[in-house]
Amino acid sequence: MASINYSAREITCKLVYYGPGLCGKTTNLKYIYEKTAENAKGKMISLATETERTLFFDFVPLALGEIRGFKTRFHLYTVPGQVFYDASRKLILKGVDGVVFVADSQEERFEANLESLDNLKENLREQGYDLDKIPWVLQYNKRDLPNAVALDELQQELNPDGKVQEFEASAATGKGVFETLKSLAKLVLADLKKGAK
Amino acid sequence: MSLMPQLVLLEDDHRLIVEVAKKLVNDANAKAVFLVDKNGQLVGEAGELEGIDTTSLASLVAGNIAASGGLAKLIGEDEFPVHFHQGERDNVHITLVAQRIILVVIFDDRSSLGLVRLRVKKAGQSLSEIFDRVFKRAEAELAGEGESSPFAEISDEDIDNLFAD
């Protein structure tokens, strides 16, 4: 849950990028980090293996500006995508305010997407969350690759009733990256407002 | 596992927390003291903070606690409430307060592990009292008994403005 500090007049929200291994979660964060002005970001932390696979998490702190006199900060985290890092994924979901599910559009990763989305639901449930009740958005990444599956096939499986906001992206070039982040951030703030009534 | 209530710190809470942290810096001869929510958000700090990236520190400390908490459960422990990292110059002492807040003390050879342990115990009690009150209030607010939050008044326009390039 977001934390609010009245003394520092700050509100901090935790956003988590989830998805199967090599789907582009870290690439999303790297692009955001590179394109954000110096004064609006802290240091990026990557806890990765020697082959640059995420071992525990990547972290980017952002300061977006003020709402009603409160500095609005977003802490972005990725989880390690590989199946056997499930214990670590659970830990990073602690206190999450919103999730970006990054799906890999490549045909051979179709099943991995479904498995990862199920895993997200299950891990949230263990922490007392319900994916249907927390803010989340879908990103179809790697749309530029020749082996990308047709969009409607992905939608049918991952967002069958079209209720979740979705974005086509190519994180390596930055396409769709900020659109995804902004809409999740908006949903999270709107959710805070709802919860505050 | 149940949902953690939102951490809302009023000015008075924050002042009390920082007072305890400052006292701990003095009493333990420490370099710096940090309080971090298990989510990875910094709650309070005191001491020599120059050159320390406090946001990164908070996120890594929380990751560390989360990982060792997972490890504890694997071997049948509930949690490891005390951690100590020894460095060449600086050392880090980490304890859990009120089940949810991580108390971090950074110290060098001007102090000792024994002294830090002793002082942390006392400070931990004072902090527990403060945070217990904060969390009780948060729960009461969740149940709709408390004052309304300023975020009830956020408009869609406010949110849009945040993203205006």
Alpha helices in chain B (DSSP H): 11-27, 54-74, 113-142, 156-162
Chain A interface, best mutation among B18, B41, B134, by max A CB count within 10 A: B41
> Could you read off the pLDDT of A47-97 as tens digits, one per residue?
998 888 999 999 999 998 888 888 999 999 999 999 999 999 999 999 999
Domain with A135 in it: what CATH number?
3.40.50.300
Residue A197 lies in a domain: no
Q: Which residue range is the domain that position A172 belongs to?
A: 3-191
Check B69 against A91: CB less than 8 A apart: yes
- What's the rounded Cα separation, in Å, for the pair B118 and B121? 5
- What's the rounded Cα separation, in Å, for the pair A87 and A85? 6
Residue A11 lies in a domain: yes
- Residue A159's CB is within 10 A of a number of other CB atoms, namely 18
- What's the rounded Cα separation, in Å, for the pair A9 and B151? 12
Q: Into how many domains does chain A fold?
A: 1
Q: For chain B, list the domains and their CATH numbers.
A: 11-162 (3.30.450.30)
Task: Give me the residues of A, 31-60, that contact B with CB < 8 A.
Answer: 42-43, 45, 47, 56-57, 59
Given a cut of 90, whether residue B144 has pLDDT beyond it is: no
Residue A133 lies in a domain: yes
Residue A29 lies in a domain: yes
> Could you read off the pLDDT of B78-112 as tens digits, one per residue?
999 999 999 999 999 999 998 889 999 999 999 99
ipTM computed for the complex: 0.82
- Is pTM beyond 0.95 here? no
A91 to chain B, closest Cα gap in Å: 6
| A182 at interface of B, judged by CB pairs closer than 8 A | yes
